[in-house]
């Protein structure tokens, strides 16, 4: 991967990851304030940030992280620290989509009185993102047993890098301007389409 292109993707990944963590901390402060004071406005503000800011930052962070693994020698299953980040990310998606966000919406709409579990879950989310940042910097542990001795990575095409950088913007516009709700269509097409393209490219290299 060309250094300039890689730097842009890394930059976007860092910015969106830090933004994701900062919004998780903002949600923590607002939900704690609402729990202590009973102020419904705090829950409404937290719900607004969750649906219109945090969600988009999280999608962009996940997209760029996956694509950095796919487009570089790190891969998905070659290093324990990368695999750990991947497992944590999937866990965060499940907890955020199916547990935290619905509870926050219920609090904002007055259908739930209080929920200390939401505070704990939000704190865990911010802590998990911070731990993932440490993994990216320290890169601890050895390679996994599934790491091939030789690992060829085709040079990413301009469309792959370009779509990685523009998909978050396109998904944001699709959600906020057209649909009115989150729909990471372009991110999904990117993270699915590129590995398929790479697999076909590598298969053509295998001698018959």
Tally of structural domains, the chain = 1
Using an 8 Å Cβ cutoff, are 187 and 164 in contact? no
Residue 208 lies in a domain: no
pLDDT in tens, 147-176: 776 666 667 778 889 999 999 999 999 999
What six digits make up the tokens of 91?
Answer: 């866990």
Residue 100 lies in a domain: yes
Using an 8 Å Cβ cutoff, are 189 and 63 in contact? no
- Of 205, 166, 191, 200, the closest CA to residue 70 belongs to 191
pLDDT in tens, 98-122: 888 999 999 999 888 878 889 999 9
Return the pLDDT at 208: 41
Return the pLDDT at 185: 93
Structural domain of residue 62, as residue ranges? 3-203
Predicted TM-score (pTM) of the model is 0.88
CB burial of residue 43 (10 Å; 0-12, 13-18, 19+): buried
Residue 101 lies in a domain: yes
């Amino acid at each position: 991967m060309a250094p300039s292109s890689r730097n842009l993707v890394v930059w976007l990944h860092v910015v969106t990851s830090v933004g994701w963590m900062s919004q998780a901390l903002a949600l923590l402060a607002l939900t704690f304030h609402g729990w202590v004071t009973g102020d419904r406005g705090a829950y409404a503000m937290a719900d607004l940030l969750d649906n219109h800011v945090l969600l988009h930052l999280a999608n962009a962070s996940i997209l760029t992280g996956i694509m950095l693994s796919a487009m570089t020698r790190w891969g998905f299953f070659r290093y324990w620290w990368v695999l750990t980040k991947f497992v944590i990310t999937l866990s965060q998606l499940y907890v955020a989509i199916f547990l935290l966000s619905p509870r926050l919406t219920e609090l904002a709409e007055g259908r739930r009185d209080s929920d200390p579990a939401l505070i704990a879950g939000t704190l865990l989310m911010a802590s998990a993102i911070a731990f993932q940042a440490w993994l990216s910097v320290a890169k601890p542990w050895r390679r996994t047993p599934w790491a091939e001795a030789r690992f060829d990575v085709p040079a990413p095409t301009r469309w792959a890098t370009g779509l990685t950088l523009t998909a978050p913007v396109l998904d944001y516009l699709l959600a906020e301007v057209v649909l009115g709700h989150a729909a990471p269509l372009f991110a999904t097409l990117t993270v699915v389409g590129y590995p398929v393209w790479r697999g076909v490219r590598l298969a053509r290299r295998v001698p018959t």
